[in-house]
């Protein structure tokens, strides 16, 4: 296949280990960028367009003070849990719009311990919502999966299956944070955080950075033996009927989801169907989110999740390996880095050089999905191709 000018490829990928980090945020980001540049075999002055994402207080565009004052345009994005997907889309669009050849994307964060402490006023809600203890992300996830399990007659034990799978994958992955296997029983019997979700069913905020190098058209094949084509990237916001974090009310009508819309758009733009996917990454902020997103993205039918876990469909030798690096559950969530971690993992799988367990059979089609507040989702389709 010959590369077209507006095809964009990932030609370099690197991540730091995720977990606790004592240094500066920008130092962490710099490590990832330099490793991604090395992976692509280029130096910073080769980069023509850059995008950085973080949910913290630092300014990604100030990374140039560490990397080099080359004068390049550097866009900053801040879209919560979807930051990585938005950063990637912005870089892709930047390459095409500017007819530039090489872009660098970096996402990072270094969060304090514990659940995120959201401010009601930042979300346009009165103080009463926080004062009465409803401004809590964990309760949102619990309320959403509680209803979802009810609507689709799903056994709550499926939550334990998702946790067990995540930590099993992570036990093989050198950069994951929580690498101790957890059994289904341990997950189900652990301390309850918000019914029906226990301690082993939530990810925690932590630190980490991921960087990708993108190249446009022919140039990608000069730089990389196995470039991975960014076949599509789609970003969607919420429509009426979606169930989002910090909602004081919901409409009683049909439920919608930005994940459904973004996944459909990504598959359509790539010219494939969910059944074509051979390795996937889904936003698993908690175990319930993976169960919901398996169906919202179209990878599995609503209600069919339990049997699919029991059948091993999502394990490394299964029909559709999902979150092969342990996902958010085992990597934690440095918000700005998390979406790019997903892409990094799928790229490495498609290149046959996974850091952890390698999906057998040389998979060539991958999918990633991020979802976050205040109701946005970004999905990508990634394809390994020869020339």
Partner 1 sequence: MTVQVVDETLFHSLDPVLLRGSACASCGAHVFPAMGSCPMCTGTDVADVALPAEGRVWSWTTQHFEPKPPFRTDSFAPFSIGYVDLGPVIVEGWLVGRTQWTIGEPVRLVLAHAWTEGDASIHTFAFESAGAAR
Using DSSP bridges, classify how beta strands 207-216 and 192-194 pair: parallel, antiparallel or unpaired: unpaired
Nearer to partner 1, 188 or 365 (CB): 188
- Within 8 A by CB and 6+ apart from 275, the residues are none
Nearer to partner 1, 87 or 136 (CB): 136
DSSP tag of 286: B
C-alpha distance from residue 281 to each of 43, 76, 227 (Å) = 29, 24, 19
For CA atoms 173, 176, 181, 185, the dihedral sign is negative
Taking the complex as a whole, how short is the minimal distance between the CB of residue 196 and partner 1, in angstroms? 8
State the residues that interact with partner 1 by CB under 8 A.
114-115, 117, 120, 126-128, 130-136, 138-139, 142-144, 146-147, 150, 191-197, 240, 247-252
Contact between 348 and 13 (Cβ < 8 Å): yes
C-alpha distance from residue 52 to each of 29, 196, 231, 287, 362 (Å) = 9, 36, 21, 28, 31
What six digits make up the tokens of 44? 């910073």
- Peptide bond before residue 374 is cis, with ω within 30 degrees of 0: yes
Phi-psi group of 197: left, alpha or beta (phi > 0 → left; psi -120 to 50 → alpha; rest → beta): beta
Taking the complex as a whole, how short is the minimal distance between the CB of residue 126 and partner 1, in angstroms? 5
Nearer to partner 1, 223 or 292 (CB): 292
For CA atoms 270, 273, 275, 280, the dihedral sign is positive
Bridge partners of 110, per DSSP, are 207
Environment class of 124 (CB within 10 Å of its CB; exposed 0-12, middle 13-18, buried 19+): exposed
C-alpha distance from residue 182 to each of 160, 198, 314, 376 (Å) = 9, 12, 16, 31
């Amino acid at each position: 296949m010959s590369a077209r000018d507006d095809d964009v490829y990932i030609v370099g990928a690197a991540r730091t280990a995720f977990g606790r980090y004592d240094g500066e945020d920008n130092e962490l980001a710099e490590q990832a960028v330099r490793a991604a540049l090395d992976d692509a075999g280029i130096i910073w002055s080769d980069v023509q367009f850059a995008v950085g994402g973080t949910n913290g207080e630092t300014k990604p565009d100030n990374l140039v003070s560490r990397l080099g004052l080359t004068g390049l345009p550097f866009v900053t994005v801040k879209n919560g849990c979807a930051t990585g997907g938005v950063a990637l889309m912005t870089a892709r669009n930047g390459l095409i719009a500017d007819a530039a050849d090489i872009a660098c994307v970096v996402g990072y964060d270094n969060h304090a311990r514990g659940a995120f402490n959201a401010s009601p006023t930042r979300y346009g809600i009165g103080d009463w919502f926080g004062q009465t203890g409803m401004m809590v992300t964990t309760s949102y996830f619990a309320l959403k999966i509680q209803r979802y399990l009810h609507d689709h007659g799903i056994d709550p034990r499926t939550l334990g299956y998702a946790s067990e799978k995540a930590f099993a994958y992570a036990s093989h992955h050198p950069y994951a944070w929580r690498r101790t296997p957890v059994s289904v029983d341990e997950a189900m019997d652990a301390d309850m955080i918000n019914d029906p979700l226990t301690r082993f069913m939530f990810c925690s905020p932590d630190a980490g950075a991921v960087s990708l190098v993108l190249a446009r058209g022919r140039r990608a094949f000069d730089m990389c033996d196995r470039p991975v084509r960014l076949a599509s990237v789609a970003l969607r916001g919420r429509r009426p009927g979606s169930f989002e974090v910090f909602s004081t009310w919901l409409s009683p009508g049909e439920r919608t989801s930005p994940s459904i819309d973004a996944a459909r758009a990504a598959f359509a733009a790539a010219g494939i169907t969910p059944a074509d996917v051979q390795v996937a990454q889904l936003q698993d902020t908690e175990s319930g989110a993976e169960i919901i997103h398996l169906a919202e993205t179209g990878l599995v039918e609503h209600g069919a999740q339990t049997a699919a876990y029991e059948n091993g469909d999502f394990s490394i030798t299964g029909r559709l390996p999902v979150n092969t690096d342990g996902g958010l559950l085992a990597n934690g969530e440095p918000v700005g880095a998390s979406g790019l971690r997903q892409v990094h993992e799928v790229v490495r799988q498609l290149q046959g050089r996974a850091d952890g367990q390698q999906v057998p059979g040389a998979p060539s089609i991958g999918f990633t999905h991020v979802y976050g507040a205040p109701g946005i989702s970004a999905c990508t389709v990634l394809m390994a191709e020869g020339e």
